[in-house]
Amino acid sequence: MSDLRRFDLSQRVAIVTGGNGGIGLGMARTLAAAGARVVVAARNAAKSEAAVGELRALGGEPLAITADVSDERSVDALIAEAVGRCGRLDILVNNAGTNIRKPAHELSLEEWRRVLDTNLTSAFLCARAAEDTRHSADPAPRPRPRRRNYRRSMIVPVPSPPPQHIAISP
């Protein structure tokens, strides 16, 4: 039995921010191979469409939504469109990240904020918007349990940059 067969994600919907390349595309491939419907969310529409083409070859119905996850309105629109087109949201992989390759003391304040907004604020914005859909998607209102787990869903943060001791291969 393949390792992925243990993780049946059919009927699940996953958004992968920054899912059009690198680690994000690797995660999107794995989710698609496990049966999830993958939403690739990124700024570069052409690169996202290419990623969706690759994911489609694995089966399922992936889709690309162009979004700037450092912008609150864009994140709200992303989540709304994904839920509107897919009917639900089960998995959010906060993978989007950026860096500016120069010493920290040479960064302008604008560059510093761009990195923080993409790498940190975006994870907060996406998780908050996704959490809102989890509660609104709950068909039977009931008192909130201690552990707020209305549906089996997950939010996955991805450190940026990844630890240097981890080897990642395609």
Q: What is the pLDDT of residues 101-151, one digit of tens each?
A: 999 899 999 999 999 999 999 999 999 999 877 655 544 443 444 444 445
Q: How confident is the model at residue 153 (pLDDT cuts 50, 70, 90)?
A: low
> How much is the pLDDT for 96?
95
Which single residue is written with the structure tokens 């450092």? Answer: 70
Residue 166 neighbours by CB distance under 10 Å = 8
How much is the mean pLDDT over the chain?
Answer: 84
pTM beyond 0.75, yes or no? yes
Asked whether the predicted pLDDT for residue 166 surpasses 50, the reply is: no
Q: How confident is the model at residue 165 (pLDDT cuts 50, 70, 90)?
A: very low
Please give the residue that has the higher pLDDT: either 169 or 58. Answer: 58
3-state secondary structure of 37: strand
> How much is the pLDDT for 60?
82
> How much is the pLDDT for 162?
47
Q: How confident is the model at residue 7 (pLDDT cuts 50, 70, 90)?
A: confident
d(CA 64, CA 5): 25
Asked whether the predicted pLDDT for residue 168 surpasses 90, the reply is: no
> How much is the pLDDT for 157?
64
> How much is the pLDDT for 6?
72
Please give the residue that has the higher pLDDT: either 157 or 2. Answer: 157
Q: Which CATH superfamily is domain 3-139+149-157 in?
A: NAD(P)-binding Rossmann-like Domain (3.40.50.720)
Distance of CA 107 to the CA centre of its chain: 27
CB 82 within 8 A of CB 40: no
Of the candidates 148, 151, 131, the residue with the CA atom closest to the CA atom of residue 139: 151
pLDDT tens for 30-62 read 999 999 999 999 999 999 999 999 999 988 899
